[in-house]
Amino acid sequence: MDEQQSLFPEPIRYRQPRRSHQPRLQMSAAALQEWKQRVFRFQQQVQSQPIAQGSLFSREPNPALELNPFELRQQNTEFWRWRVSDAGEPSLYFVIDAEVPILLYVGETGKAHQRWKGVHDCKRYLANYRELHYQLQIPTQLQIGFWPCAPQLTRDRQQLERQFIHTWRSPFNKENWQHWGTPFVGDKR
């Protein structure tokens, strides 16, 4: 019996593409709306706190209560894709869902136009947030506002950023995950 010789010593086995085993974000429309309402109610309390007149013996005023992030000029969160001629200035920035409205993230940067060009965790959280809203057919309006009056020195800017994060409890900042959970932290598929 003549056997045909094979060019290949073993049969070629094709591998199935690896599937991601990362959990897909799951949240019902009711759960998402309740999560957003909890954040909204808390942040409304922050906004309604009156700015007290200082006295000689009072402690430092809290800039996080004096500046309302919702009153800043807003732009699209994809701003970093646009061509700009300068790198930008030191700023604090605030990511907002104007549909509710809630403050989702507070950050600081030495160069406002360059900060988001690379890898940034908040971009992933926003993508997950946007995707879930899209799947559930719930409107969202993500925006970002920059406050260019932030301190020039990094340490001073970071201290001010921490005050805003603590005061407003922005849910995408890690410091506040114990308050709101982490429903948007998972990797986007």
Can you state the percent helix, strand and coil of the chain, rounding each to 5? 35, 15, 50
Stated pTM of the model: 0.77
Instruction: Tell me if 16 is assigned to some domain.
Output: no
Name the residue range of residue 159's domain.
Answer: 29-45+65-180
pLDDT in tens, 14-48: 444 444 444 455 789 999 999 999 999 999 999 88
pLDDT tens digits, 91-133? 899 999 999 999 999 999 887 666 566 667 888 899 999 999 9
Query: Number of structural domains, the chain?
Result: 1
Asked whether residue 118 is domain-assigned, the answer is yes
Q: From CA 120, how far away is CA 115, in angstroms rounded?
A: 8
Q: How far separated are the first and last CA of the chain, in Å rounded?
A: 54
Q: Assign 185 a pLDDT band (cuts: 50, 70, 90).
A: confident
Burial class (CB in 10 A: 0-12, 13-18, 19+), 19: exposed
The token pair at 88 is 């930008």
